[in-house]
Structures are given as C-alpha cells and as structure tokens.
Chains A and B, each alone.
Chain A
Amino acid sequence: MPRDRPVDAWILPPAIPAPSTFQHARAGGLTIRYPQPDHDLAGVIISSLRDARRALATFETKELVAILGGVGERFARGLDDRRIGEVAANADLSPAMAETALGGMTQSWTTSALDRLVRAEFRDPGVLDGFVARDRRSIRAASPGVSVHFGAGSVPGVTVTSMVRALLVRSPVLVKPGAGDVALTVRFARALHRADSRLAAAVAVCYWPGGAAASADWEREVLARSDQVVVYGGQGTIESIRARAPATTRLVEHPHSVGVAIVDPGGARDSPESAARAVAMVDQKGCVSTHLILLLGGAREARRWCGQLADRLAALETSLPPAAAPPGQLSAIHQLRGRLAVRSAASQRIEIWSAEGPGWTVILAGGDVFEPIGSRTAWVVPVRDRSACLDALTPLSRVLQTVGLAGPRTEDSELVEGLAALGATRIVPLDQVSFPDTEWLHDGRRPLGELVRWAERR
C-alpha cells in the first residue's frame, strides 16, 4: 500500500516541544518522517524521560498492568483495514499476513497476559512496587532507569512488546523501532499517551537510521545518557552498540536467531500443516520462524512428507499471501534454487519443490547444505533417530532459539534435555511456534527479570 503522505515515525512526551526539522525515508511501502537526529534533541528527550521516573514510580503494578493491558486489548480486538494496510505496507507483509501476525502478537499484550507475565517473573509482584520481606532481608526489583530500546526489522509488534516490558519495570523508555515496525509502534505509543499522562511523560518513540554517519552524534548522546540499552539486531548492529555504549550502561542483547523443527511424520498427521504455518508466518522474518526441519524416517517417507509440505505452503500462498519481495531477495531465491539444481545435477542428493514464482521453496537435502534465506524456504533434512537430531543441530548451537516438535512430544525428557544442552531456549509443539506466550524466556532470559535492578535491604 504505497502512500504519498509521510507517516510520522515519532512521538515525544508532551513536555518536549515538537521538533521542527525532519528527515524522510522509505520504510517498506511507506514514506516515514522522523526528527532530524540532533545531539541537543537527544539530550532533551533523555532528560525529560529521566524526569518522568518519579511519576512512573507512583503506579502500582496492578494499576499499570490494567492500563497497559487495556491499551493492548484495544489492539487485540483488531485494527481497521486502513491501519492494517499501513502496518502491512510498513512491514512488507501482505495485509492478510499482517492481520494474522497482529492477532498473534497482541495476545501477549492483554491485561490477563501481562498479569500472568508479572506473576511468572516475580514470586511476589509487590517487589516492583517496593521492598518485600524475604527471609532475613527485604528485596526490591528497582527500575533500571531510563531505557533505550533498539528494535529490529519488520516483524510488527516486537518493538511494542519490548516497550511494554520496560514500562512494567517502571523504566521510562525511548524506543527506536525497526524501520518496518514504525507504524504499529507509534500507534501503540499514541494510545499509551492518551491512556495516562504519567505514561505520556515516560514514552518516546523516534526512528532514526541506526549506525548512519548522520545519526552518530545523536546515538552517542543517547547511549551515553541512558541507563540501559536493549538491542534487537544482527551481529553488526549489536557489535556496533557494544563498542559505543559506555561501560556503565547496561546492555541487554537479543541477536538474530534461527528456528528449527523436529518432526516424526508417523506421530503427527497434521505436521505438514503446522510446519507450513511455522515457515510461512511473517514470511519467515521472525526470530521464532522455522527454517530447518529435521524429519525422522527414511528417504521415501521424507519425499512424501515434503510433497505434503509443499501442498500446504502452496495453499498458504493463497490464504496468507507473501508480500512482493524486493529484487535482492528474489535474486537470492533464484540463486539458491539454481545453485541447488546444479548441485543436484552433480549427483548430490538434493530435491526441490517450489512455487512457480518466488512464493515458497521446499528443499530436501543433507544438513551440511542448510543456509537460512527466508522467503518461506523450508530445508528438510532426513534424520535416522532422535540422537541424530542432536548431532545435526550441534553446529547451530550458538544461533538456536525455538525448536518446534511434532511427533516427538515436549515431555520427551531425553530429547528436550539434549536440545536445552545444545542451546535451544524454547521447545514447544510445532503448532505453537509462531507466537510465544507472554512469559516466554526470551532468548533464554527472563523478559522482565533481565531488565530490573535488584536491591536488598538488611
């Protein structure tokens, strides 16, 4: 949905005068407008957020959960077509996919979900409100101070989730959404501003081109003056922020990761459908997205299962169409398919099922060939048994995150222990892969626990 009128990629606390000079950029199918990254403005924003700490601290957790959850529920009830179209265009997703993704993401923003999150994180959520007696001491989960959150890419809702977590631990927050997650983040922040003046003072959203020379002064100021930085991103982004953040600024990092599935076709008749959805959701751009499927069984069974997976992916191409991919991504698909066809011609055991266009690809091959490229590409690797699954995943241990199981059950303690030992941090039934529960241990860490600063009194 290309739009000529720029969408504002910023909202600042009311106490800050509205900026007067702007830059424009393309973000998916949208033109976005953001304040000129300016050293002084960065200082003003962080100071203003710092001033908001005291007001934010007056919330009791229950009240805060209710307000945040109330806003979340409005989004969970659905957005109108125009707003969905805006989110879809921004994220380079089809409207149907954007709506489905929002439906999944918003389930973790409701009052009950946030209440569950707080209770899962803290045995007594009162520690967020003040010191709580525990054994021979009192403890408190104190605000980390002012946070800056660097969002990643274009999965709608990731940045909102990060922002909500910061507010739950009473951290005023400056959020830099990923370029493809601007529309939803700004809309949600606007709703927070309207919901409560204390939140309005504590929430700033501002896009800027991360790492660009023109943003260097702004970023230096932001990194130097904030107390905690949460960064989602690729290796380059994280290394760059690590290198520039002062040692006194706490860093919380969420690097890109890769999702896999382990499927026993004999034990899970619906596995092609579940796998297809796990591969197709948000066009495989999520950190939880499934790229690699280890398939228990022999070659003939694997071939039949790949055909079924291909059928399901073809059906999803109609019901949840992929967005038009940019030329570079299309090129990557052509290069991959052609390259594997040449390898196949060279007698290496590789078979490919694919859409006529770039919509989806299923590759049956050995594990050594696997390279995630996205664009609904499923790499299926036949494996002999469950222990061979662990061997196949060993090279991925540093980047492993979600493992979806179909056939093997999550109660299979030997397999699950093996996966956890390898580095998998989320092991769930395959049909639950795409949308983590609100209290999931994000990248192996407690989502609120990693943000707070514990204090004890004796």
Chain B
Amino acid sequence: MTAPSDRAMWTLLDGLASTLREWSRQSRDFNRLALEIHEIQRAANPVLRRYWDANTARDPSSWEEIPPVPVAAFRDVPIVSGVPEVTFRTSGTTGGGGRRGEHHVASLDLYHASARGNYRRHLLGGLETVSVVSLIPCPEDAPDSSLSVMAGFICREPEVSSATWAFNPEHGVDAGAVREAVGDAFRVGDPVLLLTTAFALVHLLDELAGQGADNRHGNGERASTDGRLPLPEGSRVMETGGFKGRVAAVDRGALYGRVERVLGVPESHIASEYGMTELLSQAYDRVAAAESPCESAARVLRFPPWVRTRALDPATLAPLPPGDSGLLAYFDLANAGSVCHVLTEDFGCTTDDGGLHLLGRAPGASLRGCSLVAESFLRATRRGARS
C-alpha cells in the first residue's frame, strides 16, 4: 500500500517532468515551486525532515532558507523518496571517505526531461542529421553513470543518424573506432558530435599523435600523416569534467587549441558541460556553433532556469554577491525525488545574470602537515584490513 506522502511525491514527479519540458514557454514562480517540493520532500523523506528540523528553526519562506545537504552525504545515506528507478554513482571518492556517492533517482523520466532541452539547445541546434561519436562509456557498460545515461539520451535524438561508442571502461579510448566513424560521417555527409570527458579527449589526441603516419579513415580517404583527424565541416564537441582539479587539471585553452589543430573543430563549436552525479540538471558554457553573437560570448556556465546557483562564504556559508568566489550550492528542482538543495565541494562565483564561473575544487583541501588525513587514512587502513 502506498503512503499518502509517497503518492504526493509520485504526483509531483510526474507533473514536474511536464513542467520542465514546458518551462521555457511559461513564467514560473521558482520559489513557490521550490517550497512546494520541499514540503512534499519533508513528508516523504523522514531523514531529510529530521535533518532540516535539526538545522533550521522555522518553516522556510524562501528556497534560500532550506539548509543544503552536502554532496558528501550522498556517500553515506540513500537520499530518496520512495523506490529509486535507477542509482547513479560518482566515479571518484575524493574527500568522501572512500565510498562512491550514490544518487538514487526516483524518476528517470524527470532526468530526461531536465537534460533534454538543455543538450538539444547547446549541442544539436541547427542540425538536421549528425553522427555521434562518444568517448563516454555507453549506458550498457556504465548503467550507474549519469553521464553515460545522458549520452544515451542524446544518441536517441531524431537528428542522430549513427552512434559510435569509442570508449571502453577497461580498454579506454578506441581511436580506430573514432577514425572509422569519422570516415563514415564523411561518406554520408554528416557532421560529427563528439561527446567526451576532457581526459578521454586528451587520450584521443595523444593516441592520434602517437599513431601519426598510420592515421587512415576506414575508407582510406583524407589520410593524415601528421596525427590530425579533421572532422567533417560543422562538427561539434561536448567536453565535460576536465577543469575541476580532481586529479590533474587540464588546461582548457591548450586543449581546445589541440582540438582545433587535430580535429579541425574551432573553439566556437566546443561546448563545455558541467554536471554532477548529485544533480539531475546540467550547465553548459556555450551553444556549440552558435550563430548569434550573444550566444557565442565569453564562456559562462548556465544552468536551465529551474536551477539556482549561489556562491557561499567558505567560513560562514553566507551567500556572496556575484563576482565573489565561494563554495557553490545549487537548488535544482529536477532533484525533487532526492534533495534539491546541494552544497558542493566546488569553488566558483556567480555572475550578475545568474551564470557561473567554475574555478575548480576549493583550494587547499589537504591538510599540510605530517598527520594522516582522510583519503590517505582510508587507503592505508583498507589495505591493512585486506592483509
């Protein structure tokens, strides 16, 4: 038997998917919807209710007053109302006690509704047909990766004439498959949409450079002897996740320069996507191949209008004005099935018009000294436990 609170949640999620699909044509009251979701989440999720009760003195009158849940909590406790339809997991364990974060998603349809309008606008605009080449693992190989599932959504769009999955979680980038797919795209006259993480992109470029003289398309056309593999005219790149300082930051300018030299895709045709497992909405910093000047202006990340971004003072968590750097917190209405207000470990600043400059992981995370801290501690003690 379904509890009333669960029924309210399912009604909300169903309605919300439609709301997000129609959002651009409506004038919505973000705050009213945020508080409505908050009330339903309170009723449906006793963990969140107790957390909020312990951290706030009164009923919130605006979304800003709802205490955010830190992303680290996604590593400990299932935060979901009802039965999850899918569980997305973070790829890394940085700062999180050696466990992968888990986002239990109550409605995959809501994720699709949240992601679709945004990727269509930023990646597929103006295209009649396109061949997708993905250096993101396919959803079958990584069913718990929110990024892979989104790449799967993209490949099912009507403009996509073919999809090549050229990354295997075990073997890495398959440059041969990329070359073949590019050759096929030339044959049918399609531009290519390359979906990639920044690190996979670096690996592809390194691989192409290393293979140099052997670079041949599948049909032998446009053979390159200098490590270049020019993509068809109008091709685009969606790159994600390379600038957050997690392992070794990739220099964006240098990477985009290499993309232009090797793949022939100008910077104007590269859109950077910023997303995280714990959020069902994503931000993009550019409309790839935008024609209007305002869409190709300086790179500023923008979420869809059902997300609010704040930079918070790292010491006090008080909101900072646009331009001041702080810890980033998001309120994503698409997270209605889990928790909307999330405090991240990322550092950045907002712009006057609601955009976001991401500066990476908050600097100075590791304690400088000779005391063992969490990540090393967990590595060392886990190893101890095995022996």
Residues of A within 8 A of B (CB): 92, 152-155, 158, 178-180, 232-235, 254-259, 282, 284-287, 289, 291, 324-332, 334-336, 338-339, 341-346, 357-358, 371-375, 395-399
Contacts and interface: CB of A to CB of B under 8 A. Distances in A.
B372 A258 contact: yes
Contacts of A326: 362-365
Interface in B41-80: 46-51, 54-55, 68-73, 75-77, 79
Contact of B71 (A92, A179, A329, A335): A335
B316 A357 contact: yes
Contacts of B377: 258, 371-372, 399
Nearest to A401: B372
Interface in B81-124: 95-97
A329 B364 contact: yes
B381 interface: yes
A287 B140 CA distance: 46
A373 B384 CA distance: 19
Given A154-B368, A257-B372, A345-B51, A335 B72 contact: yes
B343 A398 contact: no
B369 interface: yes
Contacts of A396: 381, 384
Contacts of A287: 369-372
A330 B313 CA distance: 10
B385 A395 contact: yes
B348 to A, nearest CB: 11
B370 A328 contact: no
Interface string B330-354: 0000000000000101010000000
A256 B370 contact: yes
Contacts of A258: 371-372, 377
Given A342-B77, A372-B373, A397 B384 contact: yes
B370 A339 contact: no
Nearest to A179: B368
B314 A327 contact: yes
Nearest to B75: A339
A256 B205 CA distance: 38
Interface bracket on B: 35 or more
Nearest to B375: A371
Contacts of B374: 332, 371-373
B3 interface: no
A232 B317 CA distance: 35
A331 B344 CA distance: 8
B368 A178 contact: yes
Contacts of A372: 371-374, 377
B18 interface: no
A328 B316 contact: no
Contacts of A152: 369-370
Which of B55, B362, B367, B376 counts the most chain A CB atoms within 10 A? B367
B315 interface: yes
24 contacts: A235-B376, A235-B380, A285-B369, A287-B372, A324-B315, A326-B363, A327-B325, A327-B347, A331-B327, A331-B345, A338-B70, A338-B73, A339-B72, A342-B47, A343-B77, A344-B50, A344-B51, A357-B316, A372-B377, A373-B373, A374-B371, A375-B367, A399-B377, A399-B380
Contact of B370 (A232, A335, A341, A371): A232
Nearest to A233: B370
A327 B368 CA distance: 14
Contacts of A342: 47, 51, 69-70, 73, 76-77, 79
B25 interface: no
B368 A153 contact: yes
B244 interface: no
Given A342-B47, A395-B385, 14 more contacts: A233-B370, A254-B370, A256-B376, A325-B364, A327-B363, A334-B70, A334-B327, A342-B73, A343-B76, A345-B49, A346-B50, A346-B77, A374-B367, A398-B380
Contact of B376 (A234, A328, A344): A234
Contact of B361 (A155, A254, A328, A375): A328
A88 to B, nearest CB: 14
B32 interface: no
A296 B55 CA distance: 30
B361 A341 contact: no
A124 to B, nearest CB: 33
B255 interface: no
B252 interface: no
B153 to A, nearest CB: 30
Interface of B: 46-51, 54-55, 68-73, 75-77, 79, 95-97, 314-317, 325-327, 343, 345, 347, 361-374, 376-381, 383-385
B378 A371 contact: yes
A338 B380 contact: no
A255 B376 CA distance: 10
Contacts of A234: 372, 376
B262 to A, nearest CB: 23
A347 to B, nearest CB: 8
A341 B343 CA distance: 14
Nearest to B369: A285
B383 A286 contact: no
A374 B373 contact: yes
A373 B71 contact: no
Given A178-B368, A339-B70, A372-B374, A334 B343 contact: yes
Nearest to A152: B370
**Which 9 A-B residue pairs are closest in the complex by CB-CB distance?**
A326-B364, A285-B369, A328-B365, A338-B70, A345-B50, A342-B73, A374-B367, A345-B51, A335-B72
A234 B380 CA distance: 11
A354 to B, nearest CB: 12
Contacts of A334: 70, 314, 317, 327, 343
A375 B367 CA distance: 8
Contacts of B46: 345
A329 B365 contact: yes
B345 to A, nearest CB: 5
Contacts of A178: 368
B368 A331 contact: no
Which of A152, A324, A342, A358 counts the most chain B CB atoms within 10 A? A342
A235 B273 CA distance: 33
A328 B365 CA distance: 4
Contacts of B378: 371
Contacts of B384: 395-399
Contacts of B381: 395-396, 398-399
Contact of B345 (A335, A345, A398): A335
A413 to B, nearest CB: 25
A285 B371 contact: yes
Nearest to A158: B370
Contacts of B55: 341
Contact of A328 (B71, B73, B363, B385): B363
A180 B371 CA distance: 14
A355 B123 CA distance: 47
B368 A285 contact: yes
Contacts of A256: 370-373, 376
Contacts of A357: 315-316
A154 to B, nearest CB: 4
B341 to A, nearest CB: 11
A156 B64 CA distance: 42
B97 A371 contact: yes
A345 B371 contact: no
B347 to A, nearest CB: 6
A398 B371 contact: no
B338 to A, nearest CB: 12
A326 to B, nearest CB: 3
